[in-house]
Chains A and B, each alone.
Chain A
Amino acid sequence: MKKILLLLLPLSILFLSSCKDEKVDAFGNVDLNFVATYDGTPIVIGDQFNYDNGKIFFDKIRVYISNTRIQTDNGSSFVEADDVEVLDFTQNNTNAEKAGNGVTVDMTEVPIGGYNKLLFNVGLTNDQNAMIPADFPAGHPLNNTEPYWSDWESYIFVTISGRADLDNSGDFEQGFVYHVGGNSTRRAMNLSDRIIVADGQTTSSKINFDLKKVLYDAAGNPFDIASVSQVHTQVDIMEDFADRIAQAFSVVE
């Protein structure tokens, strides 16, 4: 009997410890599909849209977002693994299908359950923006030297550019380039977004970035492209643009 007990003891310890290991949390994935639109229509680079009394098209649209996370119903939050993402619609939106699908930020191993908010920064955190491309490894979104202003010690958080035919003449004579950067132009987004994460499943959420809302104010007045065709150093105008850009994001499904 003693021998049996001696045999059972290690077995029971083994059993208990294995029970502990088998406790596995359940996870799913979340795809955040960011779609650049103009008045709700996905933007294909070079495609024309109505603007004031004329037409407009975009040739570059790029947005850096950081600290992306979704918040659970009980208020705790889940932070996305990569702390910075680049929504490069210039590279992505080369045809209608790609433009409609948008740029996806995927969140993996998200604990199952209900989430009710999507939070992210348009722009980089101060710490991220204090670094330069050389500080990041090859392949990192911030390793790219192209969107970095060395003399302003900042990344360009948002790039929007294109051309406009303001008099509907058929010629797109008016170019516009809006570059927004610097810590004061970072905007914290807090969007209601009902997301249910199920075990082993991928849940999608679609977020529109509507550029008509950037170029028109709340009263429906178009931005004066002819007077302000370039923004890249004027802090007050960049901050105004940052506000316009922030209210252009919305969760649509």
Chain B
Amino acid sequence: MKFAKTFLILTIVSTLVWSPGCKKDPKPDGPPKTEGDLIDIPYNPEPASIPSQDEYPAMAIPESNPLTKDGIALGRMLFFDPILSSDSTMSCSSCHLPEHSFTDGLAISPGVTGELGRRSSMSLVNMGYQDNALFWDGRSQTLETQALLPVEDPIELHEDWPNVVEKFKNHPDYPARFRKAFGILDRSEITKELAAKAIAQFERTLVVGKGSRFYKVFVQQNGFPSDEELRGYLMFFDASNGALPDAQCFHCHNRPFFTNNQYLNNGLDEAQTLEDFVDKGRGAVTGNNFDNGRFKTPTLWNIALTAPYMHDGRFQTLEEVLDHYASGGHYAINLDPLITDIHLNEDQKADLLAFLHTLTDTTFTKNPEFQNPFE
């Protein structure tokens, strides 16, 4: 009996002592404990590749950032997620919309504060093939470094990377996705560089062309162009043996990317001296005043979907663009010598327009893999 009494007392005491331990731990303040917290999530990177396309050379993929399915998937989410902006209202896709071939349809894009940026949003198609730096002025050498810049630009996403990385670490989904994409062991290993790598992987998949009429008719020679398209083609590439004017287009917009990836002064503004350009463009990056007023030649793929045109969006229509080039542009000492008066009549301009429309690829803009994954 005495034993039973003692046992009862001990049981009560121990129950009282241990009962607080049965309570659920209070939620800790701050980010969850991280050491090795992702290690149980499988890391099985599955290589991805860029589909081949006639005329397209192999894409140079950096060894430090091979394409994987999980990397691309993460990059796509980050690209469309407003988590990258200071007030969670804007993402990369705010200025690079699939339906506009990854431009935004505006002359100059506003940032999160509503303040306008300096230049028009560039199309992101075929970015993985760019081998001569990025942006209108070439201030970034790689997709991986480019992806870092808009986040902290005060007239774009106006956020700071340490804050974005904290948001990733505390996110219910992203730590696991970084693990699957890059094999990190815990969320403390998430960095802005990994985020940029993922975005770069997604951007490398934005390959355009196969669904276009140009690809079908002029590359695969499956079917025939219309008379207008053919005349436009012959003038665009100066391939008529003198029967039609040389519209001078192909020198800077050559196949297969319809850009030469060079920085040129295409005669938009007159400048008596090289210091007279309001926007110095490439010159502000290189420090070489001969580069002042030079901007990167944009691709013409999906050009009919990317109005307005030029680095400052000054031309609303392709007709205005053709009128500009036909006029020979404005003089500056570094005006590209290929910009000359080319005497096109209205019918010839219409033919060129018909050809430019063959470069529209809506299977690209509607590709489900390029759409907003949050919708």
Interface residues of A (CB under 8 A from B): 45-46, 59, 94, 132-139, 143-146, 148-151, 161-163, 171-173, 175-177, 229-230, 232-233
Contacts of B241 in A (CB 8 A): 233
The 8 Å CB contact of B331, one of A132, A134, A144, A171, is A171
B51 interface contact, C-beta 8 A: no
Q: How far apart sit A96 and B248, CA to CA, in the bound complex (Å)?
A: 32
Main secondary structure of the interface of A (DSSP, over half): loop
Q: At the interface with chain A, which of B37-45, B54-62, B93-101, B356-364?
A: B54-62
Q: At the interface with chain A, which of B19-27, B160-168, B169-177, B335-343?
A: B335-343
Q: Jot down 17 A-B pairs with beta carbons below 8 A, ordered by A.
A: A59-B336, A134-B57, A138-B57, A138-B60, A138-B61, A143-B57, A144-B131, A145-B255, A145-B256, A148-B255, A151-B237, A151-B239, A161-B338, A163-B333, A163-B335, A163-B337, A171-B331
Tell whether, in the assembled complex, residue A138 and residue B336 are in contact, meaning their CB atoms are under 8 Å apart: no
CB closest chain-B residue, reference A148: B254
Q: How far is the CB of B57 from chain A (nearest CB, A)?
A: 4
Chain B residues numbered 322-375 whose CB sits less than 8 Å from any CB in chain A: 331, 333-340
Given contacts A59-B290, A145-B256, 11 further A-B contacts (CB under 8 A): A134-B55, A139-B60, A145-B260, A148-B254, A149-B254, A151-B238, A161-B337, A171-B331, A173-B331, A175-B335, A229-B340
B262 interface contact, C-beta 8 A: yes
User: Would you list the 4 A-B pairs with minimal beta carbon distance, nearest first?
Assistant: A175-B337, A138-B60, A46-B290, A146-B260
Chain B residues numbered 208-261 whose CB sits less than 8 Å from any CB in chain A: 237-239, 241, 250-251, 254-257, 260-261
- Contacts A94-B286, A94-B288, A171-B331; A136 near B57 (Cβ below 8 A): yes
- Contacts A45-B290, A232-B238; A176 near B254 (Cβ below 8 A): no
CB closest chain-B residue, reference A175: B337
Contacts of A137 in B (CB 8 A): 58
Interface residues of B (CB under 8 A from A): 54-61, 131, 237-239, 241, 250-251, 254-257, 260-262, 286, 288, 290, 331, 333-340
Q: How far is the CB of A88 from chain B (nearest CB, A)?
A: 11
Q: How many A-B residue pairs have CB under 8 A?
A: 78
The 8 Å CB contact of B257, one of A59, A145, A151, A162, is A145
Q: How far is the CB of A117 from chain B (nearest CB, A)?
A: 35
Main secondary structure of the interface of B (DSSP, over half): loop
Contacts of B60 in A (CB 8 A): 138-139
Q: How far apart sit A173 and B267, CA to CA, in the bound complex (Å)?
A: 12
Tell whether, in the assembled complex, residue B334 and residue A138 are in contact, meaning their CB atoms are under 8 Å apart: no
Which of B58, B60, B250, B256 has most A Cβ within 10 Å? B58
CB closest chain-A residue, reference B238: A233
- Contacts A137-B58, A138-B57, A138-B58; A150 near B254 (Cβ below 8 A): yes
Q: How far is the CB of A238 from chain B (nearest CB, A)?
A: 14
Contacts of B239 in A (CB 8 A): 151
Q: How far is the CB of A150 from chain B (nearest CB, A)?
A: 4
Q: How far apart sit A175 and B290, CA to CA, in the bound complex (Å)?
A: 16
Tell whether, in the assembled complex, residue A150 and residue B58 are in contact, meaning their CB atoms are under 8 Å apart: no
CB closest chain-A residue, reference B337: A175
Tell whether, in the assembled complex, residue A172 and residue B290 are in contact, meaning their CB atoms are under 8 Å apart: no
CB closest chain-B residue, reference A176: B337
Contacts of B288 in A (CB 8 A): 46, 94
Contacts of B254 in A (CB 8 A): 145-146, 148-150
CB closest chain-B residue, reference A47: B290
Tell whether, in the assembled complex, residue B262 and residue A146 are in contact, meaning their CB atoms are under 8 Å apart: yes
Tell whether, in the assembled complex, residue A134 and residue B56 are in contact, meaning their CB atoms are under 8 Å apart: yes
Q: How far is the CB of B192 from chain A (nearest CB, A)?
A: 26
Q: How far apart sit A145 and B258, CA to CA, in the bound complex (Å)?
A: 10
Contacts of A229 in B (CB 8 A): 337, 340
CB closest chain-B residue, reference A146: B260
Contacts of B336 in A (CB 8 A): 59, 175
Contacts of B260 in A (CB 8 A): 145-146
Tell whether, in the assembled complex, residue B56 and residue A46 are in contact, meaning their CB atoms are under 8 Å apart: no
CB closest chain-A residue, reference B55: A134
Contacts of B338 in A (CB 8 A): 161, 175, 177, 230
Q: How far is the CB of B233 from chain A (nearest CB, A)?
A: 9
Which of B57, B59, B335 has most A Cβ within 10 Å? B57
CB closest chain-A residue, reference B234: A151
Tell whether, in the assembled complex, residue B57 and residue A145 are in contact, meaning their CB atoms are under 8 Å apart: yes
Q: How far apart sit A86 and B260, CA to CA, in the bound complex (Å)?
A: 16
CB closest chain-B residue, reference A132: B55
Q: How far apart sit A165 and B56, CA to CA, in the bound complex (Å)?
A: 40
Q: How far apart sit A135 and B60, CA to CA, in the bound complex (Å)?
A: 14
Contacts of B238 in A (CB 8 A): 151, 232-233
Q: How far apart sit A82 and B250, CA to CA, in the bound complex (Å)?
A: 29
Q: How far apart sit A136 and B57, CA to CA, in the bound complex (Å)?
A: 7
Q: How far apart sit A94 and B290, CA to CA, in the bound complex (Å)?
A: 9
Contacts of A176 in B (CB 8 A): 337
Q: How far apart sit A149 and B254, CA to CA, in the bound complex (Å)?
A: 8
Q: How far apart sit A48 and B23, CA to CA, in the bound complex (Å)?
A: 84
Q: How far apart sit A58 and B131, CA to CA, in the bound complex (Å)?
A: 23
CB closest chain-B residue, reference A142: B57
